[in-house]
Amino acid sequence: MPDDYRQYLIRLIAMHGISEIMGALPEKEWVPRAPTLHRKLAIMAKVQDELGHGQLLLRVAEDLVAPLGMNREDLLNGLFKGTIHFHNVFHMPAPTWADAGIIGWLVDGAAIITQGMLVQGSYAPYCRALERIIAEESFHIQHGESICIALAEGTKAQRQMLQEALNRWWEPLLFFFGPPPKSELTKHQDLGLMYRLRNRTNEELRQRFFHKYVPRIQALGLTIPDPNLRLDKETNTWHYTQPDWSKFKAILRNEGPMSKARLILRHSAWEQNRWVREVLSTRAAVAV
Amino acid sequence: MAEERLEYHIYEVFAQESQMAPAVHQFSLLASSPDMALILAKENFLRRQKAWSVWVVRRDHIHRTGPEEAEMFDRLDKSYRETEGYRYLKEKWRRYKHEPLTTQTMT
């Protein structure tokens, strides 16, 4: 395996695995506050799935770092040391129940668009993990759709809450796929294309997201907070206002709105559960 | 009381959907004992899937062929081993005014 291929895979898969774990944090805030028992069970199931995805992906990443003398603990510590990043979309706050809905509907929708590409990539162990993950994501999307449609069909206040959540998440959703081509921020894209780990650019994925979701968002009576958003029918391309990419760069430095708080939360969970890891790796001698 | 330090190992996980189903490879996981591997296997891979039995096997206990040996399994002409090689019998039986017997038509 070429070194730069391995390094690319480690960065991609470790980041994906860690992001699944970090991605559970904004949603798990809503487990104790879910509006009904059914909603509580569903969002709990989703949070558990996300952590399960983290387990699958870290397993794949571990096999890649093993020849370098590293293990899972090194990967998990990479997050705290800042050598492994978590996905830009998980640095955002989720202040209302509608945010939980938008995360399931649109953030997971965006994730499936990316993963649908990655699952066709050249590294089979990652693709096998993605197949399992995508199967569960289809439940996540419907879970999110169900929350959003219920709010869209609800009271004026509920529709307002949904609209405000969409306003908050629109820019993060544009960030989700990464910067457009020929940007200083896209240095890794070419290597991914060369090694057939991806076959579409960030912009192509973002366009696909617009095609799938803009009409559906509008069908629910929501307003997308971008007056310049329109489809050029001749080129079949969506025109949109570029988000503020300096905010994106700040997120990459872990200086997004919730970056520090989520890292602290993750670190305290890691420390508080240390005793569980200790118990699992020792066997007390049985007294005779 | 003395404590024994347990090492973590990679376990490959298989699941059988029913008694008649083959054990199908699911994925792998990291565990410090077979018991922990079984618990994690259920949590990680069988949250929705139906299962009758779950197997966990330490990866370093599995003997497998590698990609360099994959060619070994490439198909040669094995028509003498397969029903494909005996299709002409259908025509023969037609001449004898009988349907050919197969395992399906016999049971």
- B29 and A CB contact within 8 Å: yes
> Which pLDDT does position A259 carry in this prediction?
95
Sequence ranges of the domains in chain A: 3-280
CA dihedral A93, A96, A98, A100 (to 10 degrees): 50
Name the residue with higher pLDDT: B17 or B82. Answer: B17
Give the domain range for residue B29: 9-63+79-106
Q: What residues in B contact A63, CB-CB < 8 Å?
A: 10
Distance to chain B for A136, nearest Cα, Å = 9
Name the residue with higher pLDDT: A243 or A187. Answer: A243
- Let me know if residue B69 belongs to a domain: no
Residue A184's pLDDT band, with cuts at 50, 70 and 90, is low
Q: Which residue of B has its CA nearest to A287?
A: B1
Which ipTM score applies to this complex? 0.86
Which of B3, B27, B47 lies nearest to residue A283, judging by beta carbons? B3
Residue A286's pLDDT band, with cuts at 50, 70 and 90, is low
> Which pLDDT does position A217 carry in this prediction?
98
Cβ-Cβ pairs closer than 8 A, A with B, add up to 49
Domain over A3-280 is classified CATH 3.30.2350.10: no
Q: Which residue of B has its CA nearest to A126?
A: B27
> Which pLDDT does position B66 carry in this prediction?
87
Q: Strand A237-239 relative to strand A230-232: parallel, antiparallel, unpaired?
A: antiparallel
**Nearest C-alpha neighbor of A93 from the set A226, A212, A270, A265:** A265
Q: What residues in B contact A52, CB-CB < 8 Å?
A: 43-44, 47
**pLDDT tens for each residue of A204-262:** 999 999 999 999 999 999 999 999 999 999 999 999 999 999 999 999 999 999 999 99
> Which pLDDT does position A287 carry in this prediction?
64
3-state secondary structure A88-107: HHHHCCCCCHHHHHHHHHHH
- Let me know if residue B13 belongs to a domain: yes
Average pLDDT of every residue of chain A: 93
Spell out the residues 6+ positions from residue A259 whose beta carbon is closer than 8 angstroms to its own. Answer: A91, A251
Provide, rounded to the nearest whole percent, the portion of chain A with pLDDT above 70. 96
Name the residue with higher pLDDT: A278 or A9. Answer: A9
Task: Return the structure tokens found at A273.
Answer: 């559960």
Residue A197's pLDDT band, with cuts at 50, 70 and 90, is very high
> Which pLDDT does position B102 carry in this prediction?
84
Q: Given 3-state DSSP classes, what are the helix, strand and coil percentages for chain B, each rounded to the nearest 5?
A: 40, 25, 40
> Which pLDDT does position A285 carry in this prediction?
65
Q: Do A283 and B6 touch (CB under 8 A)?
A: yes
Which of A48, A55, A278 would you mutate first to test chain B, the one with the most B CBs within 10 A?
A55
Statement: residue A181 has pLDDT above 80: no
Q: Do B4 and A283 touch (CB under 8 A)?
A: yes
**pLDDT tens for each residue of A130-149:** 999 999 998 999 999 999 99
Q: What is residue B63's three-state secondary structure?
A: coil
> Which pLDDT does position A83 carry in this prediction?
92
Report whether A239 contacts A179 (CB < 8 A).
Answer: no
Average pLDDT over residues B69-86: 84
Statement: residue B4 has pLDDT above 90: no
> Which pLDDT does position B77 carry in this prediction?
83
Supply the CATH number for residue B44's domain.
3.10.20.520
Q: What residues in A contact B44, CB-CB < 8 Å?
A: 52, 55-56
Instruction: Give CA–CA dist B60/B30, Å, rounded.
Output: 12
> Which pLDDT does position A187 carry in this prediction?
67
Instruction: Give CA–CA dist A160/A158, Å, rounded.
Output: 5
**pLDDT tens for each residue of B7-61:** 899 999 999 999 999 999 999 999 999 999 999 999 999 999 899 999 999 999 9
- Let me know if residue B72 belongs to a domain: no
Name the residue with higher pLDDT: B70 or A97. Answer: A97
- A280 and B CB contact within 8 Å: yes
Instruction: Give CA–CA dist A97/B103, Å, rounded.
Output: 60
Average pLDDT over residues A56-68: 97
Q: Do B3 and A49 touch (CB under 8 A)?
A: no
What residues 33-62 of chain B have any CB closer than 8 A to a CB of chain A? 33, 36, 40, 43-45, 47-48
> Which pLDDT does position B60 carry in this prediction?
96
Statement: residue B1 has pLDDT above 60: no
> Which pLDDT does position B83 carry in this prediction?
86
Q: Which is it for the CA torsion A184, A108, A90, A245, positive or negative?
A: positive
> Which pLDDT does position B2 carry in this prediction?
62
- Let me know if residue B20 belongs to a domain: yes
**pLDDT tens for each residue of A10-39:** 999 999 999 999 999 888 889 999 999 999
Q: How many domains does chain B have?
A: 1
- B6 and A CB contact within 8 Å: yes
- A287 and B CB contact within 8 Å: yes
- Let me know if residue B100 belongs to a domain: yes
Q: What residues in B contact A62, CB-CB < 8 Å?
A: 10, 30
> Which pLDDT does position B78 carry in this prediction?
84
